[in-house]
Amino acid sequence: MLNQNVFLDNKTIFVTGAAGFVGANLVNELLKSLKGAHIIGIDNMNDYYDVSIKEYRLNEIEKLAEKSDCKWTFIKGNIADKELIDKIFADYKPAVVVNLAAQAGVRYSITNPGVYIESNLVGFYNILEACRNNPVEHLVYASSSSVYGSNKKIPYSTDDKVDNPVSLYAATKKSNELMAHSYSKLYNIPSTGLRFFTVYGPAGRPDMAYFGFTNKLLKGDTIEIFNFGNCKRDFTYVDDIVEGVRRIMQCAPEKATGEDGLPVPPYRVYNIGNSSPENLLDFVDILQQELISAGVLPEDYDFEAHKKLVPMQAGDVPVTYADTSALERDFGFKPSTSLREGLRRFAKWYKEFYLTEK
């Protein structure tokens, strides 16, 4: 177990992508668990998916902030705007930075590559430069399980080579790790990258399979299950992701000097995943059971008539499977929410958000 060396109470914490799925859940957790902290969030509120979900998340944060011992400040802006990022660092001097802002989605990166370069590369460069010029105790940033690309060896370990991305999205996330490593080496910035595995849960991203399937089933459309149902995904419930992030924030890699008199990069990377990949057909079966149970779909829904098995899509991989032994060793933590429990919570939220009279 690593010793805690970053104390978050009474600190200024900067969270990018604060209206995003993981970002908003992290901010909520920090508001609940910290004392006297100032949490600053930034998000550009783009319309890659339904903005009303981002507004809902922000509204939940605002309600929590009113009762919290912490201060909450939200800035609408883009991390690719260097002047804005520099101003935020100069004005607020954050001690801990959690970079969760990114253009997400594998398939979208095939049709809209430019936005990935802007957000995931230029934006992250701006964050690194700001951390260089305004030293921070810890920079934590989101990478992705997609960096493993078409690796055949499973489960995926952070010791594996990750030089074969199968999408531009994956390439930008691998680039983030390389950029962070170089800045850690050159400027002694303690940084930790987190490879998230298929995050899901209430108020998640509508472009994710479980959410898209639900929308289509409700409309009576047919859902397409890729690789003829032979894909496996390491679905990780959002609360487990947030718990992992919170623990890691408090343990920055130690600064050290090498034999050459230069800094040994204070740099680490972890997987955060459930370590139990689920077959897509089983996943869809559990999803429809929970949607029926929550009253989203009728009891007599003819599921078989709305399901189509199709070939693999470009940019996809057949299996994701996290080796989380390093996370367990260093933090005594392993994601544990079952897929059924997580999808049950999602189905209840979906019913409330979309199908209940406001």
- CA dist 70 → 31, 88, 214 (Å): 6, 18, 36
Q: Which 8-state DSSP code applies to residue 10?
A: T
- Asked if the structure places residue 262 within a domain, the reply is yes
Say how far apart CA 178 and CA 120 lie, in whole Å. Answer: 13
Residue 271 lies in a domain: yes
Is residue 6, in this structure, part of any structural domain at all?
A: no
pLDDT of residue 173: 96
pLDDT at residue 315 in the model: 65
- Cα separation, 124 vs 139, in Å, equals 11
CB within 8 A of 24, min separation 6: which ones? 18, 54, 57, 58, 60, 61, 203
Of the candidates 136, 27, 43, the one whose C-alpha atom is nearest the C-alpha of residue 89 is 136
Count: domains in the chain? 1
Sign of CA dihedral 203, 205, 207, 213: negative
- What is the extent of the structural domain holding 72? 12-281+307-354
What confidence score (pLDDT) does residue 358 get?
58
Per-residue model confidence (pLDDT) at position 313: 75
In-domain check, residue 208: yes
Residues contacting residue 178 through CB under 8 Å, at least 6 positions apart: none
Q: Is residue 301 part of a domain?
A: no
pLDDT of residue 10: 98
Assigned domain for 294 exists: no
Q: Is residue 2 part of a domain?
A: no
The residue assigned the tokens 């299950």 is: 225
Question: Measured between alpha carbons, how far is residue 330 from residues 200, 250, 334 in Å?
Answer: 24, 12, 11
3 state DSSP class of 332:
coil
* Proportion of the chain in helix, strand, coil states, percent, rounded to 5: 45, 15, 40
Cα end-to-end span (Å), the chain? 47
Residue 249 tokens read as 């924030």
Tell the burial category of 298 from Cβ atoms under 10 Å away from its Cβ (0-12, 13-18, 19+).
Answer: exposed
Among the listed residues 148, 169, 237, 350, the single catalytic one is 169
What CATH number is associated with residue 267?
3.40.50.720
| Edge-to-edge strand ranges of the sheet holding 191-196 | 71-76, 38-43, 12-16, 96-99, 138-144, 191-196, 267-272
Cβ distance 39 to 11 under 8 Å? no
Q: Is 49 a catalytic residue?
A: no
Report if residue 276 sits inside a domain.
yes
What is the distance between the alpha carbons of residues 15 and 30, in angstroms, rounded to a whole number? 11
Low-confidence stretches of the chain (pLDDT < 50) are none
Q: How many CB atoms lie within 10 A of CB 302?
A: 9
Nearest 5°: phi and psi at 339?
-60, -40
